[in-house]
A and B are shown apart, each in its own frame.
Chain A
Amino acid sequence: NAGVMQNPRHLVRRRGQEARLRCSPMKGHSHVYWYRQLPEEGLKFMVYLQKENIIDESGMPKERFSAEFPKEGPSILRIQQVVRGDSAAYFCASSPALAGGRYEQFFGPGTRLTVL
């Protein structure tokens, strides 16, 4: 039973390029969350998605950042025109449907983005 999968694990981009991060949730999970972590800090919520829907993007910068979770395929976090301040570890988590109560979120191994 594979866990949450993220790729690439490491991504290097130059300023102005686009970064595309992928996340495949655990089997049977329909909820995906993206978090960002700076060194020596806790994770910060960015966006919460269900299949084909963005439920809450309150933690995501309004410009340059976008996220999707299509009917088929992985969830994508896209960062356009990257800047050095985007360098961080980006984690994806997934959980099963929330019906009947909240469930723990299972985290992937993260994508470490470095912007040169």
Chain B
Amino acid sequence: GESVGLHLPTLSVQEGDNSIINCAYSNSASDYFIWYKQESGKGPQFIIDIRSNMDKRQGQRVTVLLNKTVKHLSLQIAATQPGDSAVYFCAETPLYMLTFGGGTRLMVKP
């Protein structure tokens, strides 16, 4: 289930289940969005991006959905694996400066 921790909301899922991580973005002028994965002690790692002229984009095991009407992004991870455990950030930009959301910690239970 999903819970709000002291700082980061945490999503706990069973290995093999699908995960959905949500993000509300703030700038209606943003037209490029990226999901990043950050493991402890490391820099953000690109997962998938989407431009505002699309509402869905699929990668390998990941799908990003964009709803511009309500300024909402989601990241779907299929068949979640222990290696997916990390903090996930959405980022938006109208030009080049990335604005990051607050992040969601994904914990995968074996």
Contact = CB atoms under 8 A, between A and B. Distances in A.
Contacts of A106: 46
Interface residues of B, number: 24
Given A42-B102, A59-B97, A91 B44 contact: yes
A42 B90 CA distance: 9
Contacts of A33: 96-98
Contact of B96 (A44, A102, A107, A109): A102
A45 B44 CA distance: 14
Contacts of B36: 107
Contact of B100 (A4, A31, A42, A48): A42
Interface in B27-66: 32, 34, 36, 42-46, 49
A81 B17 CA distance: 50
Interface size range on A against B: 20 to 34
Contacts of B89: 42-43
B91 to A, nearest CB: 8
A41 interface: yes
Nearest to A40: B7
Contact of A110 (B7, B34, B42, B96): B42
B74 interface: no
A109 B97 contact: no
B43 A91 contact: yes
B8 interface: yes
A102 B93 CA distance: 10
A89 B80 CA distance: 28
A40 B8 contact: yes
Instruction: Tell which of B34, B46, B93, B98 has the most Cβ of chain A within 10 Å.
Output: B98
Interface of A: 4, 31, 33, 35, 39-45, 48, 55-56, 58-59, 91, 93, 95, 98, 102, 104-110
